[in-house]
C-alpha cells in the first residue's frame, strides 16, 4: 500500500466539500480575471487602500462610500439575471472586504454587509423564478460565509435547515468555519451565548442530516470551541458515523480522522470520569469499525476507498493513539503494508481488545466497553458484520433477473 498518497487523500475531503458548489467556484475564478465588472469599485478601493492597512479611523465620507458600495452591489446582484455576471458581482463585493485583519475599515464593511445582506436575502426570497431565487440566495449566502464574521451568524443559522445540499453546506461554513471558532474563543470577540446558540443549531441540523463534507466542518468547529455542549455534539456525530459503518453506507471515511482526533483530545482533557470513559468507548468502537471496514471490505470497497480507510488507520495510530499510549505506534500501518489481513486483525485486537483479553488502549486508559448481553464486562468493542453481498449479475454484467 503506497502511504506516500495518504496526505493527498487527507486533502481530498476538503475538495469533496467544494464539489457541491463547483459551478459557483468556477464562475468565481473566471470573474476574478474579467476586466469588466458591473459594479463600480473605484471609490471603495481608494478608501480600502488609504484606511485598512494603516488601521486609520474612518471619516463620515469613508463610511458613506462603504455603505453605498455594499448596498448597491447587493442590489445589482439581486437584479442580475445572468449567472456569470451575478458571480462577478459577488466576487467584486467580497474583494473589498480587505482581508481578515481587524481594522476600523473591515469592521465598517462587515457591519454594512450584515445589515444589507439580511434585507437583500428577504427580497431574494420573493423572486418568482425558482432557479434564479435559489441561485441568488446561494450567492448571498456565499458572501456571508466568505466574510468570515460572527456578524453573519444569523444569516447562516437561518439557512441551516435548507433541504438544498449546497445551501446547507455554505450555511454551515457561515457559522462554523475556523475563523468563526477563533472569534468565539477570542478574549476580545468571544461570545459564550452565541457559541451555545450555534452549537445548539448545529446539533439540530446534524439530527436532521448534514452531508459528510459539512459534517467535517461541524466536527472541527465543535473541537475548536470545546464547550460541554460542543463535546456532546462530537459524541453524537460519532454515534451517527458508527451507525453508518454498521450499515455499510458510510461515505468519505477520511472525515473520521478528524472525528477520532477530536475524540482523542476529549479523552486527554476531560476531567469528569464518566464523560472521559464515554469518550474512550466511542473512540475505541469507531476506530475498531474503521479497521474492520478495511479487513472485511475487500470485495465491496474501491481502490480509492481502501486508500482512504488505510489513511485514517495509519494517521490516527501515528498521532492520537501514540499520544494516548505515550509511545510511538506503527503496528497497524505495518500490518496494512504487509497486505496480511490476519496480521491487521491481530493488531486490532491487541490494541482495542478481544472477548478474552482487554486491549492495550483500554488497559492504559482504564475503560471497558460496557456490558455484554450476559451481563459481564465487555472487553472488546462490537464486531462489524460483513458487508452485504452485491447482487448477482448475468454474463453481460447486468443484474440477474
| C-alpha span between 21 and 207 (Å, rounded) | 23
* CB-based contact 218:202 (threshold 8 Å): yes
Mark out the alpha helices in 177-211 (DSSP H runs).
178-185, 192-208
pLDDT at 26: 42
pLDDT at 329: 78
> Is the pLDDT reported for residue 71 higher than 60?
yes
Q: What secondary structure does DSSP assign to 305-354, as a single string?
A: HHHHHHHHHHHHIIIIIHHHHTS---HHHHHHHHT-HHHHHHHHHHHH--
> Is the pLDDT reported for residue 4 higher than 70?
no
| C-alpha span between 55 and 130 (Å, rounded) | 43
> Is the pLDDT reported for residue 38 higher than 90?
no
pLDDT at 55: 85
Residues 336-394: tens digit of each pLDDT: 999 899 999 999 999 999 999 999 999 999 999 999 999 999 999 999 999 997 766 65
Residues 86-112: tens digit of each pLDDT: 999 999 999 999 887 888 999 999 999
Cα four-point dihedral sign 251, 244, 3, 297: negative
Provide, rounded to the nearest whole percent, the portion of the chain with pLDDT above 90. 81
* CB-based contact 112:74 (threshold 8 Å): no
Q: What secondary structure does DSSP assign to 98-138, as a single string?
A: --SS--HHHHHHHHHHHHHHHHHHHHHTT-SSHHHHHHHHH
pLDDT at 396: 58
pLDDT at 40: 86
| Residue 292 in grid coordinates | 474492520
> Is the pLDDT reported for residue 67 higher than 90?
yes
> Is the pLDDT reported for residue 245 higher than 50?
yes
pLDDT at 221: 98
Q: In the structure, what pLDDT confidence band is assigned to residue 31 with cuts at 50, 70 and 90?
A: very low
| C-alpha span between 228 and 287 (Å, rounded) | 23
Q: For the whole model, what pTM was predicted?
A: 0.86
Residues 147-184: tens digit of each pLDDT: 999 999 999 999 999 999 999 999 999 999 999 999 99
3-class DSSP assignment, residue 397? coil
| C-alpha span between 45 and 380 (Å, rounded) | 63
pLDDT at 51: 86
Residue 396 C-alpha from the chain's centroid? 41
| C-alpha span between 174 and 117 (Å, rounded) | 13
Owner of C-alpha cell 474612518: 58
pLDDT at 1: 44
Amino acid at each position: 500500500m503506497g502511504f506516500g498518497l495518504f496526505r493527498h487523500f487527507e486533502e481530498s475531503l476538503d475538495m469533496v466539500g467544494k464539489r457541491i458548489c463547483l459551478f459557483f467556484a468556477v464562475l468565481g475564478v473566471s470573474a476574478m480575471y474579467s476586466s469588466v465588472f458591473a459594479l463600480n469599485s473605484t471609490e471603495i478601493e481608494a478608501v480600502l487602500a488609504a484606511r485598512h492597512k494603516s488601521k486609520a479611523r474612518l471619516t463620515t465620507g469613508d463610511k458613506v462610500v462603504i455603505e453605498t458600495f455594499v448596498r448597491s452591489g447587493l442590489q445589482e446582484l439581486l437584479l442580475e439575471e445572468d449567472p456569470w455576471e451575478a458571480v462577478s458581482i459577488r466576487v467584486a463585493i467580497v474583494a473589498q472586504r480587505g482581508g481578515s485583519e481587524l481594522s476600523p475599515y473591515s469592521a465598517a464593511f462587515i457591519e454594512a454587509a450584515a445589515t444589507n445582506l439580511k434585507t437583500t436575502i428577504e427580497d431574494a426570497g420573493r423572486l418568482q423564478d425558482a432557479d434564479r431565487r435559489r441561485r441568488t440566495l446561494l450567492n448571498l449566502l456565499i458572501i456571508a460565509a466568505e466574510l468570515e464574521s460572527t456578524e453573519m451568524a444569523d444569516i447562516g443559522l437561518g439557512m441551516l435547515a435548507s433541504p438544498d445540499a449546497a445551501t446547507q453546506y455554505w450555511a454551515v461554513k457561515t457559522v462554523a468555519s475556523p475563523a468563526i471558532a477563533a472569534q468565539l474563543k477570542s478574549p476580545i470577540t468571544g461570545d459564550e451565548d452565541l457559541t451555545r446558540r450555534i452549537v445548539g443549531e448545529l446539533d439540530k441540523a446534524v439530527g436532521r442530516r448534514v452531508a459528510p463534507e459539512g459534517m467535517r466542518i461541524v466536527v472541527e468547529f465543535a473541537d475548536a470551541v470545546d464547550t460541554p455542549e460542543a463535546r456532546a455534539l462530537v459524541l453524537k456525530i460519532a454515534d451517527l458515523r458508527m451507525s453508518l459503518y454498521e450499515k455499510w453506507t458510510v461515505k468519505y471515511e477520511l472525515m473520521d480522522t478528524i472525528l477520532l482526533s477530536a475524540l482523542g483530545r476529549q479523552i486527554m482533557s476531560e476531567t469528569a470520569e464518566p464523560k472521559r470513559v464515554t469518550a474512550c468507548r466511542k473512540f475505541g468502537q469507531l476506530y475498531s469499525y474503521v479497521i474492520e471496514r478495511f479487513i472485511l471490505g475487500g470485495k465491496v470497497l474501491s481502490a480509492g476507498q481502501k486508500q482512504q480507510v488505510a489513511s485514517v488507520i495509519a494517521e490516527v495510530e501515528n498521532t492520537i493513539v501514540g499520544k494516548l499510549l505515550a509511545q510511538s505506534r506503527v503496528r497497524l500501518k505495518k500490518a496494512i503494508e504487509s497486505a496480511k489481513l490476519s496480521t491487521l486483525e491481530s493488531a486490532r485486537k491487541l490494541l482495542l481488545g478481544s472477548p478474552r483479553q482487554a486491549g492495550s488502549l483500554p488497559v492504559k486508559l482504564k475503560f471497558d466497553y460496557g456490558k455484554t448481553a450476559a451481563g459481564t464486562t465487555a472487553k472488546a468493542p462490537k464486531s462489524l458484520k460483513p458487508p452485504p453481498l452485491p447482487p448477482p449479475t448475468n454474463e453481460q454484467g447486468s443484474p440477474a433477473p
